[in-house]
Structure 1
Amino acid sequence: MAKLFTSAKVGAYNLTHRVVLAPMTRVRTIQPGDIPSPIMADFYGQRASKGGLLVIEAASISIQARSYLGAASIYHDGQHEGWKAIADAVHAKGGHAFLQLIHGGRQSHVEVTGGAHPVAPSEVPFDGVALTKDGFVPASPHRALEIDEIAGIVEDFRRAAERAKKAGFDGVELHAANGYLVDQFIQDGTNKRTDAYGGPVENRVRFLRESLEALISVYGADRVGVRISPSGEWGGISDSDPQATFSYVAKVLDSYKIAYLHVIEPRIKGDDTLHEGQAVVAASYLRPHFSGPIIAAGGFDRDGAIATVEKGDANLIAFGRHFSSNPDLPYRLEHDLPLTPYVRAAFWGGDEKNYSDFPAYSGQNKDDSLQDVVDAEAV
C-alpha cells in the first residue's frame, strides 16, 4: 500500500490516511450575518472520513478582515450554531476539522469591510480584486496600518480561535498565504515598513509570530497549523528572495512545535491558472527547516501525491479541486477509481448545485462490490 493511504500523527491527532481536504473559499455563507449555511455542513460532512483531516475554508476574523461577500466569517457569537453544525458533521463521520482563520488585508473593498479602508503593512500599488454584490471589482485603495492598530488585529485572531474552539473545531490554521494580510507582512514586495514590523525578515515575521501565539494561547501548539505560499503570485505578492524568506519562516514555525506546516506549491499563478506536473519545489526546500508534518497542496494528481509522500518532501497532500467534486476522494484515490470532473463555474458562490450534490462513487465501470465498502465507510 502506498504511504499516502497509511496512518500519520499530526499534532494531537492520529490520522488513518494522508489525504487532506484543502481550505477552499466557496462563498456559500449566504445567510444574514455571515452565518454558515446548512449546505456548508452538508458539504463538509460528505467529505469527512474516519481519521481524515479537513481544513475548513478561511473564516474572516472581523468585518474589516473580509475580502469576499458571502465568504465565511467568525467574528460574532451569532455565527456559533452554523459553525457548530459543520464541526458536528465532520465529527459524525469520525473526521478531524481545523478551521482556517484569515484577515484579507488589502485584498478587499469598502462594501465588504463595513465602509473602512482595507489595510496592509504598507501602501503599495495593487490592482487586485474583491468580491462584492456587483461581482469581482477592483479592490478599494488601502492604507498602511498604524503600529498601535496591530495588537487589535492579533486580538481578533485570538477571539476567532476562541469561537472556533467553542464551536467544536479540533484546531485552527493561520492563513499566512496567498497575499492576504499575514503574507503581506512576511514578503518584502508588500512590506515597506521601517518600524519593528518591517525591514529584515526577523521583523517582517513579527506579525506572524504574534498572530500564531494568539492562536496557541487558545488551542495549544499541537492543535494549530500554518499555511504559507512561497513564490506564490496570487494577490500581487512578491519577495526579493523567497527561498531565504520562507526557509526562515519554516525555522521560526518549527520552534513552536505546531501541528503542521501547510505549503502551497508555486504551481498556482496569479490568474488562478494551474500548472500541473511541475516538480514539488517549496515543500522540498523547506523540509530541512521544519521537523514536523508538512502538508503540500497545489495541483496534485494521484501519482504526484503518492510520489511526493514516498520521497518524503511532504507527509500529507491536500486536495481542493478534486475534493470539490469527489466527496469520497480518499477512497477513490486509494482504489484508483475514476474521478468526477470539478465544475469551475461553481467554485465562487451559488447554492447546492455542483457543490453539495456530488455523489459518492457508484461502482460504475468497476466491481460493484466496492460500493458496499463505500456505503459502510459512509455510516
Structure 2
Amino acid sequence: MTTLFDRYQLADMALPNRVVMAPMSRVRATADGRATSSMATYYAQRASAGLIVSEGVQPNRVGQSNPGTPGLVNAEQAAAWRPVTDAVHVNGGRIVAQLMHGGRVSHPDTTGLQPVGPSAVAAVGEVFTPTGPQPAPVPRALDTAEVPEQARSFASAARHAVEAGFDGVELHGANGYLIAQFLSSNANLRADRYGGGIGNRIRFAVEAVEATVDAVGARRTGIRLSPGAGLWGAVDTEVPELYTALLTELARFDLAYVHLEATTDEDTLVGLRKVWDGTLIVNPAFPMGTDRTDRTSADRWLGLGADLISFGRAFISNPDLVERLRADLPIAADDQARWYQGGDAGYLDYPAYRHAA
C-alpha cells in the first residue's frame, strides 16, 4: 500500500516522501517584486516536504494579481530568488516556481495597467490593491495577435526560474486566473481561435505549456488545474469533456506532472486520473475554503490513484508538517488574520513541534 512517506521519482527529482507543499500567496516580496531573505527562511523551514511549489509568481507586469507578490519578469527578480532556492537546497529540499498570470483578477492600482483577459468581462468579487480591496475592474480583451505573447510570458518566466535555481515550474491553470479564464465558458466569450468550442478554449493553455516546454524542457514543467471550481466567477461547463480534452493534448508533452485540485465530483476526478497516466498531484481541499488537507484525505486520494498529495494551510503553521504527519503529532492552527499582513509575524514564527521532556 502506498503511503505519504514512500519515496517517489518525479522527473529528475528523487523525492524522499510524497508530501507536496501547495502554492500559497503570502505577499512578502518587495514593492518591485523581488524575493527577500525572510522568504528564503520561510521556504527553508519547510524543506522537508517532498516538493515545494512556490507562491504564485507573476510572469510579466500585467500578470501581477496582488500587491506584494514576487515576479520572475527580469534578471533582477531572478537573482533575488537565488538565495531562496539555495536555502531550500542546502536544507535538502526541492522547489518549483508557480507561474501565475492573474489576467482579469488584477487592478490598475496594483500594476499601473488595465488588466487583460480573454473577454471584457469582469471577475466576480473584490481584488486586493495597495489601498485595500476594490471591485474587480473590466479587463481589456486581448486581440487575437496579442494572445501568443501572453502565452510566451510563461516561457520567459520559466527561463528566469531555471536561472534562479528552481528545479522546475508549475503553470497556474487553476482558480480563475488567466489560463482558467480561457478555459471558462463565461469569462471567455471570444469568437476567434481561442474561444467557442472546447478545442478552442483549451488552446491558450496548450500554447502556454508548449512554449514553456520549449524553453526549459518537459521534465521541468507541470501545470495546476481546478476543474469546475468557478472561482472569481470563471465557470467551466462540460467539465469532464473540457478537462479530458485538455489532458489528452497535454499528454503529448510528457510533462513532469499535473496538479489537480478537488474542485469537482470525485467520479470526474477519478476519470481524469485515467486520462492522465503521468505523475498526478492531488490537493483534496477546496481552494480558498475552510477545510485543509489532512492525513485521512491524503491517504484516500493515494488509494484513488494520486501519486503525490499537496497540503496548503497546514504548512503555514507547521514547518515540520511531514514529521507531524509521520508521527501523528497535533497539527497547529494558523492565524488567518496574519496571512497577508506582511512582516515576519505569522510567517516565520511558527515553531516545530516540541516534545515534552
Which bracket does the TM-score occupy, shorter chain normalised? over 0.9
Q: Which residue of 2 aligns with 1:40?
A: 39
CA–CA distance in 2 between the matches of 1:84 and 1:353? 23
More deviation, 177-186/253-262: 253-262
In the other structure, the counterpart of 1:284 is 270
User: Which residue of structure 1 aligns with residue 56 of structure 2?
Assistant: 58
Match for 1:344 among 323, 333, 336? 336
* 1:113 Cα deviation after fit: 2.1
- What TM-score, normalized to structure 1? 0.89
Report the counterpart of residue 301 of structure 1 in structure 2.
294
Q: 1:307 to 1:86 in 2, by over 3 A?
A: same
1:149 and 1:321 map into 2 onto residues whose CA distance is 36
Task: Provide the alpha-carbon RMSD of the alignment.
Answer: 1.6
The residue aligned with 2:110 is 112
* Equivalent pairs, count: 350
Residues 87 and 168, structure 1, Cα contact 8 Å, conserved in 2: yes
1:1-379 matches, cutoff 5 A: 3-29=3-29, 31-49=30-48, 52-114=50-112, 116-266=113-263, 280=266, 283-297=269-283, 298=285, 299-312=292-305, 314-364=306-356
User: CA 1:148/1:311 → structure 2, altered by over 3 Å: closer, same or farther?
Assistant: closer
Equivalent position SS for 1:99: strand
- CA 23–306 in structure 1, closer or farther in 2 if over 3 Å, else same: same
In 2, the alpha carbon distance for the partners of 1:6 and 1:236 equals 38
Q: 1:88 to 1:177 in 2, by over 3 A?
A: same
Retained in 1: the 8 A contact 2:22–2:53?
A: yes
Q: Secondary structure at the match of 2:170?
A: strand
* Contact preservation (8 Å) 1:261, 1:293: yes
Deviations 1:191-212 (A, max 9, x none): 1111111111111111111111
* Contact 2:122–2:139 under 8 Å retained in 1: no
CA distance in 1, matches of 2:98, 2:337: 23
Rounded to whole Å, the distance in 2 between the matches of 1:170 and 1:4 is 21
CA distance in 1, matches of 2:315, 2:19: 10
1:228-266: per-residue Cα shift (whole Å, max 9, x none)? 001112211112211211122222222211011101112
- Give the counterpart letter for 1:222 in structure 2: R
Structure 1 position 281, deviation (Å): 5.0
Q: Does structure 2 conserve the Cα–Cα contact (< 8 Å) formed by 1:108 and 1:129?
A: no
Q: Which runs of 5+ in 2 are unaligned?
A: 286-291
- Opposite residue 12 of structure 1, the aligned amino acid is D
State the alpha-carbon separation in 1 of the partners of residues 220 and 114 from structure 2.
33
Query: What letter is aligned with 2:274?
Result: P
Contact map agreement 1:173 1:225 (CA 8 A) in 2: yes
Q: Which runs of 5+ in 1 are unaligned?
A: 268-278, 369-379
- Contact 2:122/2:136 (CA < 8 Å) preserved in 1? no
- Match in the other structure for 2:288: none
TM-score normalised per structure 2: 0.94
% of aligned pairs identical?
39
Q: Could you tell me how far 1:100 is from its partner in structure 2?
A: 0.5
